[in-house]
Amino acid sequence: MFSFFLQQGLDFFSEKIFLYREEIFYAGIGFSALAILAALSTKIACMILFTVGAALCFALASWAFRTREYKLSQEAGSFDARLQRVAKIGEDQTVQERNLRLALQKGFDQQEDLLRQKNGEIMTLRVEVENISQTLSDRNAELEKLKDQNRRLLIIEQRVQRLL
């Protein structure tokens, strides 16, 4: 009796998920994009959270497709009809997987470009810091020379004062 209600609940739940499969899939893509942004900003906890969210969305959409296909194959009854449906879903999933791979690759390429840009900016800043450091060192050396000359002048002035 319990298994009957459980099965009915799962069927209802999978139907609702199947109806909103595109929104769930786009939510998964959104979570993936947020995970990439979190990785760029070095927010590891956010990146992990968004990656898990994306995985859950894709798993939920995949589960809805599989559950729907299983139910349809049971209702169809004929092997040919089931085979055609499985082939169609397989093609759709292959296209979706390819599109997802392309979207992820594009995101990773953008991430690499940003990293290269940031590394270039960091190298420029390092050169500027080294130049400033060298300038400060040169000025400190000049200051020490001036202090030494000032001491010598004071000594000479004291000697002149004694002679007068």
Which sequence spans correspond to the domains of the chain? 2-139
Contact of 71 with 11, CB cutoff 8 Å: yes
Give the model's confidence band at 78: pLDDT under 50 very low, under 70 low, under 90 confident, else very high. Answer: low
**What pTM was estimated for this model as a whole?**
0.35
130 versus 70: the higher-pLDDT residue is 130
Tell which residue, 8, 25, 4, 21, has the closest CA to residue 71. 8
Contact of 35 with 47, CB cutoff 8 Å: yes
CA 25 to CA 97: how far, in whole Å?
Answer: 11
pLDDT digit string (tens) for 99-151?
Answer: 888 888 888 888 888 888 988 888 988 899 899 889 989 999 999 999 999 99
Residue 40 identity? L
In Å, what is the CA distance from 17 to each residue of 11, 58, 69, 87, 96? 10, 12, 13, 21, 17
